[in-house]
Amino acid sequence: MIKKKIKALGGAMLLLSSAFILADATADDDVFQDSGSWLQVVGEGSLKTIDPSLEKGRIWVEGQSRFDNDWNHWYQGMVRAAVGYSLSDRATVWAGYTWLPTQNLGKSYVSQQDVWPAFRYVMPTRLGTLSFRTMVESNFLQGSEVRVRPRQMIRFMHPLQAEPRLSLIAWDEFFVRLNSTPYGGQSGFDQNRAFAGLGWSFNNNIRAEAGYMNQYLDDATHTNNTMRNLIMGSVFINF
């Protein structure tokens, strides 16, 4: 009974911490509010399917489609690809590329490209699985302009004892601009993303997740901010 209470408390604390982040963002009356949705499909697997000697090699492919303006406008897509190497059963290093076509309302079309290294660490606990992902993006913007933007994600997944295929999921990801650029904005805080939802594992290879994501963005001059209230749906495929 005590263990059950500890597990429930751990999951509740993580979800509550996300709620505090959202409440802090909402407290600013000058924030522009918007609603929309993000949809994503993520595939990850071992390169041993190509050659058994590449067992520690990893591949990561991802696609996203993003809608804003109360679901009335497609404003952004994302294609991400990376190769990685498993340092252990918990730690993986990555090198990747991202293409981010963007068409914001009232603005010109932008085709941003990013290259980045990343490190991911997965830590099983009695309460569930904690994972940490650190990425350092080089965002190629207009012309030769390059913005360096580290981002840190902390994620928690807690399978329910009554139905292990169903999990409580909470994560937060924080972005910072290391340098000031004419198009990419002044250095400092860039954005925060906080998610709370549920996941369902169909089997060892396919998992679906759905929930609420709050995206809080700072503008280029740190004067006008946007908060998007998003429904996020994801499918994860392991191979």
Q: Helix, strand, or coil here: 138?
A: strand
Stretch 76-85: mean pLDDT: 98
Q: Helix, strand, or coil here: 186?
A: coil
**Sign of torsion over alpha carbons 207, 13, 131, 149:** positive
Residue 230 structural domain:
2-238
**What's the one-letter identity of residue 65?**
S
Query: In sequence order, what are the residues at sequence separation of 6 or more whose Cβ sits closer than 8 angstroms to the Cβ of residue 41?
Result: 62, 63, 234, 235, 237
pLDDT value, residue 30: 76
**Sign of torsion over alpha carbons 82, 85, 90, 91:** negative
pLDDT tens string 82-91: 999 999 999 9
Is the pLDDT confidence value at 20 over 90?
no
Q: Residue 223 has which token pair?
A: 């004067």
Q: How confident is the model at residue 29 (pLDDT cuts 50, 70, 90)?
A: low
pLDDT tens string 124-171: 999 999 999 999 999 999 888 999 999 999 999 999 999 999 999 999
pLDDT tens string 167-216: 999 999 999 999 999 989 999 999 999 999 999 999 999 999 999 999 99
Q: How confident is the model at residue 69 (pLDDT cuts 50, 70, 90)?
A: very high
Is the pLDDT confidence value at 24 over 90?
no
Tokens 């569930």 correspond to what residue? Answer: 128
pLDDT value, residue 25: 45
The total number of structural domains that make up the chain: 1
Q: How confident is the model at residue 31 (pLDDT cuts 50, 70, 90)?
A: confident
Tokens 């190769």 correspond to what residue? Answer: 83
Higher pLDDT residue, 126 or 18?
126
Label residue 31 exposed, middle or buried (CB < 10 Å: 0-12, 13-18, 19+): middle
> Could you tell me the CATH number of the domain that includes residue 177?
2.40.160
| Cβ atoms 95, 117 nearer than 8 A | yes
Q: Helix, strand, or coil here: 194?
A: strand
| Cβ atoms 191, 218 nearer than 8 A | yes
How many alpha carbons fall within 13 Å on the CB side of residue 201? 15
**What's the one-letter identity of residue 183?**
Y
Q: State how far the Cα of 43 lies from the Cα of 206, in Å rounded to an integer.
A: 9
Angle (CA) 91-196-150 rounded to 5° is 45
